[in-house]
């Protein structure tokens, strides 16, 4: 597959103009300071379905509608089907509802509940199958044949890619950017963006970001030959794609200047940073570009203007809670530990008074005296404290040791 013709992307933009939320590029001062460059965010997490995928899906179904009208066929009326980790699913479901046709969506079994319920709410039939996108994809292809449905590929489709490329036209219209940072799963988003930039502003560098646990595209790009993964494992479920599509790979080789990778810890820190500093809820895939900048995976200069695509915001609440909890522990804003006490009246009160005097806020206590590891007459207490950073933590630890408490920190 070659780069998408700019006229196809402009045609997609026209189809989408009354559907897409026009979210302008937003300068991010705090992120700019961390990354030591000028960073602008493209907030696709604020789209109607919570992700950029609505662009490609709607453009594809709109093109099918036009084909039906031109050739007097009923392709769209028969219904559509897709495989998706969630965001493409909601894009297809919304588009099918708009064009009044049925949609069947096959999702991996581990898809976050938020994405499943969001897709069902748009009237689609949802089928959970497979451990990852690629297994769901195989199942969807089989169902497409059985039910005579049109398969809407999430990334290896020219109309889908053209729809995603409309993001670049909006960015080009607002800022002259030196670099564009884009998450890569299957590669449809970056293919569309790269196609637009290479046609209109070829000096702008297009940089992709893979999750380390799903980095087949990065390996393939570096070796100039497809290198599929045996399995994928990452919190960025939106870019957890195991296999590389040949057509998309050719497009990426032609239009992408560099691919870097970030691990789950880096992605998690970016999610929390965006939540705290930008007041934005962004999923793992959407935060990948920010993670790359925060952890200096991309060469930038202070004078550069760098655009980052926040591709989606459909993060599972449970995952968000885990990320926040772990981040609080790592940043010394929370402390968990176990301590052995003599099981008698006043022992726990003495400990809590000591911690309170030290300025630690106790948010959790579990008191047990039945553990087989305890001596008779002892109790084990697990506590969680809100603290104010490294120095405060060290102060709490010091006061515990000075008062004869032996404790084990829980990480």
For residue 222, give the CATH number of its domain: 3.40.50.1100
Contact of 27 with 39, CB cutoff 8 Å: yes
Please count the other Cβ atoms lying within 10 Å of the Cβ belonging to residue 408: 12
Number of domains in the chain: 3
Over its length of 411 residues, how does the chain's per-residue pLDDT go in tens digits?
789 999 999 999 999 999 999 899 999 999 999 999 999 999 999 999 999 999 999 999 999 999 999 999 988 999 999 998 789 999 999 999 999 999 999 998 988 787 888 899 999 999 999 987 778 999 999 999 999 999 999 999 999 999 999 999 999 999 999 999 999 999 999 999 999 999 999 999 999 999 999 999 999 999 999 998 888 999 998 898 888 999 999 999 999 999 999 999 999 999 999 999 999 999 999 999 999 999 999 999 999 999 999 999 999 888 999 999 998 898 899 999 999 999 999 999 999 999 999 999 999 999 999 888 889 999 999 999 999 999 999 999 999 999 999 899 988
Query: What phi, psi does 258 have (nearest 5°)?
Result: -165, 150
- Domain with 372 in it: 332-409
Residues 35 and 102 in one domain: no
- Judged by DSSP in three states, 358 sits in coil
Contact of 195 with 188, CB cutoff 8 Å: no
Residues 137 and 185 in one domain: no
Q: Buried b / exposed e across 166-176, counting CB within 10 Å, b at 16+?
A: bbbbbbbeebe
- Distance between CA atoms of 35 and 143, rounded to whole angstroms? 46
User: Would 74 be classed as within a structural domain?
Assistant: yes
Contact of 143 with 81, CB cutoff 8 Å: yes
Can you read off the two tokens belonging to residue 381? 């207490």
Residues 44 and 170 in one domain: yes
* CA nearest neighbour of 254 among 309, 292, 306, 199: 199
The domain boundary residue, chosen from 97, 132, 151: 151
The domain boundary residue, chosen from 151, 183, 205: 151
- Distance between CA atoms of 363 and 353, rounded to whole angstroms? 14
Query: What phi, psi does 96 have (nearest 5°)?
Result: -65, -40
The domain boundary residue, chosen from 94, 121, 151: 151
**Which residues, other chains included, contact 267 with Cβ-Cβ below 8 Å and sequence gap of 6+?**
211, 234, 235, 236, 284, 287, 288, 291
Alpha helices, DSSP H only, in 235-316? 246-255, 264-277, 284-294
**Which residues, other chains included, contact 147 with Cβ-Cβ below 8 Å and sequence gap of 6+?**
79, 81, 104
Residues 186 and 286 in one domain: yes
Q: What is the model's pTM?
A: 0.90
- Distance between CA atoms of 19 and 397, rounded to whole angstroms? 56
- Distance between CA atoms of 207 and 308, rounded to whole angstroms? 10
């Amino acid at each position: 597959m070659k780069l998408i013709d700019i006229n196809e992307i402009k045609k997609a933009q026209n189809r989408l103009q009354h559907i897409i939320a026009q979210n302008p590029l937003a300068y991010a001062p705090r992120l700019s300071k961390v990354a030591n460059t000028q960073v602008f965010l493209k907030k696709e997490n604020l789209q109607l379905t919570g992700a950029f995928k609505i662009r490609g899906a709607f453009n594809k179904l709109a093109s099918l509608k036009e084909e039906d009208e031109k050739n007097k066929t009923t392709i769209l009326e028969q219904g559509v089907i897709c495989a998706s980790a969630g965001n493409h699913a909601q894009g297809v479901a919304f588009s099918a509802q708009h064009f009044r046709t049925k949609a069947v969506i096959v999702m991996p079994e581990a898809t976050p509940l938020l994405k499943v319920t969001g897709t069902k709410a748009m009237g689609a039939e949802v089928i959970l199958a497979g451990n990852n996108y690629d297994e769901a994809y195989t199942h969807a292809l089989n169902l497409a044949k059985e039910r005579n449905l049109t398969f809407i590929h999430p990334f290896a489709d020219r109309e889908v890619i053209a729809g995603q490329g409309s993001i670049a036209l909006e960015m080009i219209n607002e800022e002259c950017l030196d670099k564009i940072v884009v998450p890569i799963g299957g590669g449809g988003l970056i293919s569309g963006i790269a196609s637009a930039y290479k046609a209109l502003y070829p000096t702008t560098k297009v940089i992709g970001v893979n999750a380390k646990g799903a980095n087949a595209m990065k390996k393939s790009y570096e070796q100039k030959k497809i290198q599929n993964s045996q399995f994928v494992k990452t919190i960025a479920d939106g870019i957890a794609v195991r296999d590389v599509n040949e057509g998309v790979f050719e497009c990426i080789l032609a239009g992408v200047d560099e691919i870097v990778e970030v691990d789950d810890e880096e992605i998690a820190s970016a999610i929390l940073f965006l939540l705290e500093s930008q007041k934005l809820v962004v999923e793992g895939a959407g935060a990948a570009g920010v993670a790359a900048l925060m952890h200096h995976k991309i060469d930038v200069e202070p004078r550069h203007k760098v655009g980052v695509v926040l591709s989606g915001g459909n993060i599972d609440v449970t995952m968000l809670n885990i990320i926040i909890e772990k981040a609080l522990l790592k940043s010394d804003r929370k402390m968990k530990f176990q301590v052995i006490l003599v099981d008698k009246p006043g022992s726990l009160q003495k400990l809590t008074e000591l911690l309170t005097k030290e300025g630690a806020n106790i948010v959790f206590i579990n008191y047990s005296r039945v553990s087989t590891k305890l001596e008779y007459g002892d109790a084990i207490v697990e506590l969680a404290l809100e603290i104010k950073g490294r120095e405060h933590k060290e102060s709490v630890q010091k006061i515990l040791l000075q008062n004869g408490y032996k404790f084990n920190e829980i990480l």
